[in-house]
Structure 1
Amino acid sequence: MSDSELLSRAKKAPATAGSRTVITAQYGRSPYVAAYAKRRAAGICELCEKPAPFITKDGEPYLECHHIEWLARGGEDTIENTVALCPNCHRKMHVLNNSTDITHLNKKTGENIDLQNQDNEPSLL
């Protein structure tokens, strides 16, 4: 579609958004698995390896948890299958789900960093 055709159609689009009813499946997730993944990441995205984009009101680096093998595709809610990603990388995984990125993330979780030995505090699990 050309730019002019796209512009023409965009100008003709209804100004009021429509609505629809959607039924979706939700998967139970352990808050401990998510918290462990974020703590393991230490404020650094486990894919792009850059710092979290901002600090939350609670003073925590903002990262989102992602299941390497999606729960909807049979993945498990485990620390080996969960990583902490910046919002851009999280969206990238859901749009592209690139095999190279999946391999990189599996290596990250395979390192199995022991948080208890890292800071002498009890682990979350």
Structure 2
Amino acid sequence: MPFVVTESCIACKYTDCVSVCPMDCFYEGPNFLVINPDECIDCSICTGECPVNAIVEASEVPAEQAHFVQLNRDLSADKRWKRITQSKAPLPEHKKWATVSEKLHLLEQS
């Protein structure tokens, strides 16, 4: 079962997870990361690297965030979203957004 980036990542975009991914299956948008489910080998190495616990096994995504499974698939296939393989600084206001819930309306898709 592949892993999924969920709502906690929006407006934070910590990238510690990408540097440990053996398959380089993370893709980056303006304020969010996604995992390509067809490239993920289910190793779970990335989960422990996320300081906001945004990465979850697809079968364990909470019901209220189930749409993130398809969102990861769709955005990782979007040509505007580029593969990311190295960590970089989080977004400038990441500390402010790290504990905020219900951030889907803040997701920038292009």
Quick check: TM above 0.5? no
**Larger proportion of strand:** 2
Higher relative contact order (CA 8 A, sep 6+): 2
TM-score by length of 1: 0.26
Which has the greater radius of gyration?
A: 1
**Larger proportion of helix:** 1
TM-score by length of 2: 0.29
